[in-house]
Amino acid sequence: MQDPADDGTDRSPLRALDVLAAQEVTVAPGLRHLELYTMRGLLTLLWHGDPTAEHVVLAMGGAMGGLLGPADGLYHDLGTALAERGIGTIRVGYRRPDDLSTCVHDLAAVADLAGRSGARRFVTVGHSFGGAVAVQTGALLGTHCAGVVTLATQSAGCERAEHLAETPLLLVHGDRDELLPLQASEMVRLLAGHGELVVLPDTGHLLREAGVELRQRLLVWIPARLDEPTGPGTHGDPTGRRGDAAPGVNAAPRHADTLATVFHLAQRDEWIDAVAVGGPYTPSAFADDGFVHCSTTLQVERTANTWFAGRDDLVLVELDPTMLGDTLVFEPGSLGEAELFPHVYAPIPLAAVRDAAPLRRDRAGHVRLLR
């Protein structure tokens, strides 16, 4: 392992780890095990393939860490198969699992380390919590990121998906995920403004039921993305030390521009009062919460049936996100769910309202009015 400079001029992600000691062994031909000791924990790497490969996959686990990946050792199998094609794979064991900022730093440092050996293009792959790490790392790498793959991802922590710009994005989710709903991947795609969503039927959170299909798909998708023509500056150093633009500063759309519609469920009396005076609309809960609770198109029906079951005094308000500007923020719900919800940190101007109508229910009392 090449040591970063010690003269104080190196402020790279690898240098910022403050590595106290490092060791490595060759576990098998084409597979190295590296351990980097830091004051904030042990960073463990399993590195498949030629360490000087220009194309490298960064694979990361969920909130509890791990190196095997989902689907019964997916990452090991990918690393072995991709090495035969000249593509390196680094399986990353976080220093502090479930600490998002630390985990993203880990991946940036690993990309830095690979870059010092010759890596120029990366694909990030993350499962569950690791999906957020993969998205944020992909955004940081900028044009050096050839693609991002999320597997049964959470949406919390994926707000930077908007900064992926035109980076290819593949989202894979099982329709029987018992931990994170399919809507989490749908939300990430909305935040990014693009992406291919693959829904695996009869498949749970660990994706075991679709292991064969998943391997086949990724062994086609990943090399294809790495082989695609690159834009200006892509072949520079991935840490930006050679004068490239810093990773993650590419121009990107704001959250409001990636969504067609946001919905709010208003109490009828409060809504009528706001309209009567020409707005703005301020729900009574705003005084305590500091924001207006909203839902996306994919969330509104579930919100109405879960949190407002049986209520017949509600108005479904359709909002134009582009009229809300920076007051529109995506955050975990009030109960700390992994799924992100739109919150508006200001009273709603009536100019942002596209439509408003009484919330209708069917004979069973369920809301089924998605626009």
Write down the pLDDT at residue 238.
Answer: 44
Q: Is residue 138 exposed (0-12), middle (13-18) or buried (19+ Cβ within 10 Å)?
A: buried
DSSP track, 164-232? GTT--EEEEEETT-SSS-HHHHHHHHHHHT--EEEEETT--TT-GGGHHHHHHHHHHHHHHHHHS---T
Residues 326-369 have pLDDT tens digits of 899 888 776 555 578 889 999 999 989 988 888 887 777 787 65
Question: Distance between CA atoms of 370 and 303, rounded to whole angstroms?
Answer: 12
Please give the share of the chain, as a percent, with pLDDT higher than 70. 86
Ramachandran bin of 65, using left for φ above 0, alpha for ψ from -120 to 50, beta for the remaining angles: left
Q: Are 24 and 33 in contact (CB under 8 A)?
A: yes
At residue 11 the predicted structure's pLDDT band, cuts being 50, 70 and 90, is: low
Q: Where in the chain is CATH 3.20.170.20?
A: 255-358
**Which of 207-211, 271-275, 361-365 holds the top average pLDDT?**
207-211
* 261 vs 192, higher pLDDT: 192
Question: Distance between CA atoms of 166 and 138, rounded to whole angstroms?
Answer: 11
- Considering the chain, what is the average pLDDT of its residues? 85
Residues 216-244 have pLDDT tens digits of 999 999 999 999 876 543 433 444 333 33
Is residue 119 predicted with pLDDT exceeding 90? yes
pTM of the model: 0.67
What does the block give as tokens for 259? Answer: 């969504």
* 322 vs 61, higher pLDDT: 61
Q: b/e for 122-133, b at 16 or more Cβ within 10 A?
A: bbbbbbbbbbbb
Comparing C-alpha atoms, which of 205, 360, 348 is closest to residue 285? 348
Q: Are strands 121-127 and 88-93 parallel, antiparallel or unpaired?
A: unpaired
Write down the pLDDT at residue 194.
Answer: 92
Q: Is residue 231 exposed (0-12), middle (13-18) or buried (19+ Cβ within 10 Å)?
A: exposed
Contacts of 211 (CB under 8 A, 6+ apart): 71, 72, 74
Q: Are 91 and 124 in contact (CB under 8 A)?
A: no
| Angle value at C-alpha 272, between 268 and 273, nearest 5 degrees | 120
Superfamily of domain 13-227: Alpha/Beta hydrolase fold, catalytic domain (3.40.50.1820)
Question: Distance between CA atoms of 63 and 331, rounded to whole angstroms?
Answer: 18
Q: Where in the chain is CATH 3.40.50.1820?
A: 13-227
At residue 76 the predicted structure's pLDDT band, cuts being 50, 70 and 90, is: very high
Residues 27-58 have pLDDT tens digits of 999 999 999 999 999 999 999 999 999 999 99
Residues 302-321 have pLDDT tens digits of 888 888 888 888 999 989 88
Is residue 10 predicted with pLDDT exceeding 60? no
Of all helices (H) and strands (E), which one includes residue 286? helix 286-289
Q: Are 204 and 151 in contact (CB under 8 A)?
A: no
Question: Distance between CA atoms of 83 and 55, rounded to whole angstroms?
Answer: 10
Is residue 64 predicted with pLDDT exceeding 80? yes
**Among 20-24, 105-109, 293-297, 343-347, the least confident range:** 293-297
Question: Distance between CA atoms of 92 and 42, rounded to whole angstroms?
Answer: 11
Q: Which amino acid is at 189?
A: R
Domain 255-358 has CATH 3.40.50.300: no
Distance of CA 35 to the CA centre of its chain: 26
Question: Distance between CA atoms of 199 and 180, rounded to whole angstroms?
Answer: 13
Is residue 174 predicted with pLDDT exceeding 60? yes
Q: What is the Cβ-side half-sphere exposure of residue 88, based on CA atoms within 13 angstroms? A: 26
Q: b/e for 294-320, b at 16 or more Cβ within 10 A?
A: bbbbbbbbebbeeebeeeeebbbbbbb
